[in-house]
Amino acid sequence: MIRQIGYIVSDFEQTIDGRVQLGVGPWCVMRGIAMSCLYRGEPCSVTLTIGFANSGDLQLEVIHQDDDTPSIYPEFTDAGGEGYHQLIAGVATLSRHFCRWCA
């Protein structure tokens, strides 16, 4: 079962406002999230704004990079705009699924 859908967006406020107009919310918004990671094998640090809203068992995540550091986020939007980035799926019996993935 899909538990979360994450989207990368170019305009965080416009995206959230549009979702609120559709009845999605309330939103938990976290600004100035510092994240360090590897991007194409090199260390990078980015600053993100992230919003979460739940609709039943489904959580929506909206991600916006606040700076211009090269990372997966501007690479994604530069390649074709904003949109779907990731899914999180829940499973009833993780150990059974994990064993199947490792086989």
Over range 70-97, report the average pLDDT: 83
Q: How confident is the model at residue 55 (pLDDT cuts 50, 70, 90)?
A: confident
The residue with greater pLDDT, 48 or 99, is: 48
How far apart (Å, rounded) are the C-alpha atoms in residues 46 and 30? Answer: 14
Distance CA 100, CA 102 (A): 5
Domains observed in the chain: 2-102 (3.10.180.10)
Mean pLDDT (whole number) for 3-21: 95
Asked if the model's pLDDT at residue 62 lies above 90, the reply is yes
DSSP 71: S
Joined together, the tokens standing for residue 30 give: 């976290």
Predicted structure pTM score: 0.82
